[in-house]
Amino acid sequence: MTASWEGPEMTAQGMDDVVVPAAIAADRAVPAERAGRRARRRSAVDSLFHVWGALVLAFLFTPIIVIVVYSFNTGRVLSNWKGFGFRAYVSAVNNDIIVSSVVTSLQAALGSAVLATVLGTLGGIALARARKGAWWALGLSGVLALTLTTPEIVDGISFLPWFVTLGVDWGFSPVNNGMVRLIISHAMFSLAVVTFIVRAKMGSVDKALEEAAADLGAGPWHRFTDVTLPIAAPGVMAGALMAFTLSLDNTILSSFVQQPGYTPWPVYIFAAVRVALRPEVAAMSTVMLALTLAALGLVAVVLRRTGQSTSGIVRTMAGV
C-alpha cells in the first residue's frame, strides 16, 4: 500500500545503505547441495525483509524530511516551493506571536517537568519499596496507568470545568492563570511516566543498601539523600527529560486548557493550519525538533551509562 508513493523518495534519502548481515552459519548436517539451495532462498527472504525495512523507514522519515526541507522555502506559502533561503527562520524569530508561543511552551515544559519529577520520584521510590500487595501501591499504579491510557481529549474535557470550578466558583485564583493551567495539566500525564521510570530503576536495586545505611547510623533523611536518590538519579533524569518533551509535544490537552496570552507552540501551529501555513511554522518546528532530539539523545546517553540494554532504553523512553 505504501510502496507506490514511497518509491520515488527512496533513493533521495539514501535508505538503500542497509547492511546485509553476514551469511548465517550453514546447517552442518544437511548435504551441501540442499544447504546451498536453502541459503539462496534464505537470502532472498532476507533481502525482502531489508526492502521492507527500508520502505518503512522511508515512510517514517519522508514527512519529517519534507518539513525540514520546506523550512528553507523562501515563498510565502509553505507547500509552494519558491527557492532556497533562510528567510523563514529570520521572520520566525522576528514574529512576536511565534516567539511568545515557543517561550510559553518552554516555560510550561520546564514547570511541568519539575513538578512531575518531584512527585514522580517520590511516587516511584514509594512504589519500588512497597510491600507486595499493599493497597495504596496497587491503587496508585492503577490510577497512573489510567492517566496514561485515557485519551487526551477526555482529560481535556475533564480539566476545563474543573479549572473553572476551582478558579471561578471556589475563588482559587492561581488556576485562572494560563501558565499554571498548562503546568498542572501537563504534569498530570508526565507524572505517570516519571513514576514508572523511577520505579523501574529502583526495582532492580537491592533494598539491603538502604538497610545497610540504616545499620551504619544514617537517619531517614540522610538515607534518602545519600543512598536512595543517587540510585534513582538516572531514572529521575530520564523521567524529567521525558516529561519535558511530552509537555513540549502536547497539543490536544493544551488546546483545551489554554488561556488567552498563554498559547503554547503546538496549539499555535494547529491554529495556523486553518488560516494558511507559512514557512515560518516549518522553520520554528525544525528548531524545536533539533531541541527535542538533543534532549532525547541526552536521555539515551544517560541510560546507556547506567548499563541498560537497547531494549531497556527503548522501553524506558517510549514508556511501554
Name 73's bridge partners.
Answer: 84
Near another protein in 209-268, by CB under 8 A: 220, 245, 248-249, 251-252, 255-256, 258-261, 263, 266-268
Comparing CA positions, the residue from 81, 232, 76, 254 lying closest to residue 153 is: 254
> Of 72-101, which residues contact another protein (CB under 8 A)?
77-81, 97
Radius of gyration of the chain (CA): 25
Nine cell digits for residue 80:
509552494
**CB 267 → another protein: shortest distance, Å?**
5
Give CA torsion, residues 219, 214, 307, 319, to 10 deg.
Answer: -60
Give the shortest CB-146-to-another protein separation in angstroms. Answer: 8
Of 14, 31, 83, 151, the one binding another protein (CB under 8 A) is 151
Of the candidate residues 58, 88, 92, 144, the single one contacting another protein (CB under 8 A): 144
Least distance from another protein to the Cβ atom of residue 191, Å: 6
d(CA 274, CA 10): 31
Shortest approach of another protein to residue 202 CB, angstroms?
10
List 86, 136, 170, 172, residue binding another protein (CB under 8 A): 136
**In the range 39-68, which residues lie near another protein by CB under 8 A?**
42, 45-46, 49-50, 52-53, 56-57, 59-67
Q: Considering the complex, what minimum distance in angstroms separates the CB of residue 158 from another protein?
A: 4
Q: Which of 88, 92, 180, 187 binds another protein (CB under 8 A)?
A: 187
User: Is the distance from CB of 282 to CB of 73 less than 8 angstroms?
Assistant: yes
C-alpha–C-alpha distance, residues 269 and 281, integer Å: 7
CB atoms within 10 A of CB 191: 24
Cβ distance to another protein smaller for residue 126 or 205: 126
Contact 250, 266 (CB under 8 A): yes
Per CB under 8 A, the list member of 123, 234, 235, 239 interacting with another protein is 123
Cα dihedral 264/113/303/67 (nearest 10) = 0
Residue window 281-310: x/- pattern of binding to another protein, with contact defined by CB under 8 A: xx--x--xx--xx--x---x---------x
Q: Give me the 153-182 binding string for another protein, x by CB under 8 A, dash otherwise.
A: xxx-xxxxxx-xx-----------------
11 makes contact with another protein (CB under 8 A)? no
Q: Which of 163, 190, 168 is nearest to 262 (CA)?
A: 163
Going by C-beta distance under 8 Å and a sequence separation of 6 or more, which residues neighbour residue 10? 16, 54, 55, 58
